Amino acid sequence: MKPDAQGWLSGVRRVPSPNHDKRPARAAIDLLVIHGISLPPNEYGGDAIERFFTNALDHSEHPYFEQLKGVKVSSHFLVRRDGQVVQFVPCNKRAWHAGASTWGGRSRCNDFSIGIELEGSDFEPYTERQYDALARLTRYLKRAYPIRDIAGHSDIAPERKTDPGPFFDWDKFLLRLA
């Protein structure tokens, strides 16, 4: 993997999202935020996440999707159950993944973080392929950017978020980074 001037990585599938903007001037990208997502909830393999992040989700397609009307979010990356990595936003831009959040005494984590979504839920383990792909991606990002910390969405927004959830094995992930 190698970034171009905007922060698009080579070797991953690109699905550009319009849901991003400029980072604040001189914002160091020093936090990696791990998320979990499935759309519809607890269902895997479709293209609903991609359509959601690109504002193309048909809200009449599933009852759950109705509550997502008007929501504009994105993440830099998605790691699918089979380990495929999809990039939605170049790393040099601010993706809209963290929402109201705080880390290390700083608020607005989107300003200084890269967001990685894992296709999954709070109710079952992530796959070995996902841990392998996440570790590879994380090692690369740590070489390319001054990332000091890795946190879950639940760590930066504990009052409102639970992901990546109780089945995310932090020890397994961190061992693969070594």
Q: Both tokens of residue 79? A: 């790691």
Positions annotated as catalytic residues are 117
Say which residues have a Cβ less than 8 Å from residue 86's Cβ, sequence separation at least 6. Answer: 12, 13, 14, 15, 50, 77, 78, 80
- Residues 6+ positions from 67 with CB-CB distance below 8 Å: none
Q: Residue 1 in contact with residue 137, Cβ under 8 Å?
A: yes
Helix H or strand E segment including 25: none
In the block, which residue shows the tokens 């930066």?
A: 156
Query: Which residue type occupies 96?
Result: W
| Strand ranges for the chain from DSSP E | 13-14, 20-22, 31-37, 77-79, 85-87, 93-95, 102-103, 106-107, 113-119, 149-152
How many residues are recorded in the chain? Answer: 178
Q: Which residues pair with 118 in a beta bridge?
A: 36, 79
